Amino acid sequence: MNIFIFGLVNSVILALMASGFALVYGVSRLANFAHGALYILVGFATWLFLNRVGVNYIGSIILSIIAVSVLGGVIYRFLLIRVKGMPASEIIASLAIGIAIMELFRWRGFISEAYMLPPFVNGSVSIAGVMIDWQRLIIIGVGLAIMLLLWLFTHHTKVGLSLRAIAQDKHASMMSGIEPDRTAVISLAMGSALSGIAAVVILPLGNITVETGYMVLTNAIAVCIIGGLGSWAGVFAGAFLLGFAEILTAAFIGPQWQMVVVLLFIILTLILKPSGLLGKQKELEERV
């Protein structure tokens, strides 16, 4: 039971971390390696608004999420748009921007234990004999709510439908008057906002550190690869597979093997089925 509940929480955390990355890649085929940086940016921005500027907690969360989504859009519109279509340059440029953001925080001295966000609700509750704090339950709730909202957004609003259209067939949707650059800006802004939401619900579990940024990036990539790049169901499948695999390894083999199992999963997925568990890319395109 213990394993089941914490595996579930871990999986939802992974899914939340990966959702922004998956959205950006799915819509604009752009691997946004600045994802982890945006994640901790929201954490630190919320902390600053809360403790230095004196906005209340909800206000500072909303402000920092808006700020980071604008930043995401700006990064695409003015920087990444120039290297669109060159995968190596895209990755280097976004990774370099991300590292610059993260190391800037390190330089300003944001590296002590003091930087942590308060949990939304204190205390814990016992479910089937397992003590679990409210924050972890809130994470599950927020994760499910976000997935539902995203589904509604992509299936029932005009902007959401245009995002899906671009993801499915770029040329056909361009012919129906959808501008790919505009949707890419929207997708990057939304992806950044998603990473921000993930940050504000997950970060109260521990300290905000610069290393979290790198960790979030690797986790997001791992989940997206295993689940299949550009597929929503895949993000879920990948997150649950990895989340439970991590918890099970930590429980039965030993915590130092956790990362090895994750990496083996990634390598085996890529060798056996490169498009991921539920990826929609044609197998032939990936293999010779």
Partner 1 sequence: MAYALLPMVSFVLGMLVLPLVVPSMTWQRIMTLSCIFALLALSFDFLAHFVGIVCLGGAFFTGVGGYISGLLNSAFGLPMIITIPVATIAGGAICTLFLIPCLPIRGIYFAIVSLMYPILFHRVIQALNIFGGTDGLPGLATFPNIWVELYFIIPMTLILTFGLRRLVNEDFGIVLRAIKDNDQAVRASNINISWYKTKAVFIASTIGCFAGACLAHLYGWVGLSLFALDFSIFPIAATVVGGGGTLVGPILGALILAPLSEMLRAFGPLRVVFYSLILAGLVIFKTEGFVPFLERKYHQFERWTEI
CB 117 within 8 A of CB 208: yes
> Of residues 98-137, which lie at the interface with partner 1 (CB under 8 A)?
99-100, 103-104, 106-107
72 token code pair: 């995401």
Stretch that binds partner 1, among 138-146, 188-196, 235-243, 260-268 (CB under 8 A): 260-268
C-alpha distance across the termini of the chain, in Å: 45
Rounded Cα distance between 117 and 203, Å, is: 7
Contacts of 200 (CB under 8 A, 6+ apart): 42, 43, 46, 61, 64, 65, 117
The structure tokens listed for 187 are 């997708």
Among 95, 167, 185, 239, binds partner 1 (CB under 8 A): 95
How far is Cα 74 from Cα 68, in angstroms, rounded to an integer?
A: 10
- Is residue 252 at the binding interface for partner 1, with CB under 8 A as the rule? no
Integer Cα distance of 20 and 223 in angstroms: 12
Residues ≥6 apart with Cβ < 8 Å to 74: none
Candidates 58-66, 94-102, 112-120, 130-138 — which segment interacts with partner 1 by CB under 8 A?
94-102
* Total residues at interface with partner 1 (CB under 8 A): 39
Q: Tell me: does residue 287 bind partner 1 (CB under 8 A).
A: yes
Element (H, E) at 126: strand 124-127
For partner 1, the binding residues in 21-60 under the rule CB under 8 A are: 31
Query: Which range, of 12-20, 58-66, 75-83, 235-243, touches partner 1 by CB under 8 A?
Result: 75-83
Name the segment binding partner 1 (CB under 8 A); options: 54-62, 146-154, 237-245, 251-259: 251-259
Residue 83 is a binding residue for partner 1 (CB under 8 A): yes
Give the chain's radius of gyration (CA, Å).
19
Selected binder of partner 1 within 74, 138, 270, 277 (CB under 8 A): 270
Give the Cβ contact number of residue 37 at 10 Å. Answer: 31
Out of 248, 274, 277, 280, the residue judged to bind partner 1 by CB under 8 A: 274
- The amino acid occupying position 190 is M
Site residues for partner 1, window 206-245 (CB under 8 A)? Answer: 221, 225
- 88, 123, 128, 177: which one contacts partner 1 (CB under 8 A)? 88
Instruction: Choose between 139 and 217: whose C-beta lies nearer to partner 1.
Output: 217
Using rule CB under 8 A, residue 251 touches partner 1: no
Is 30 within 8 Å of 86 (Cβ atoms)?
A: no
Closest C-alpha among 190, 92, 188 to residue 150: 190
177 or 254: whose CB is closer to partner 1? Answer: 254
Summarize as ranges the residues that interact with partner 1 (CB under 8 A): 31, 79-80, 82-83, 86-89, 91-93, 95-97, 99-100, 103-104, 106-107, 221, 225, 254, 256-257, 259-260, 263-264, 266-267, 270-271, 274, 285-288
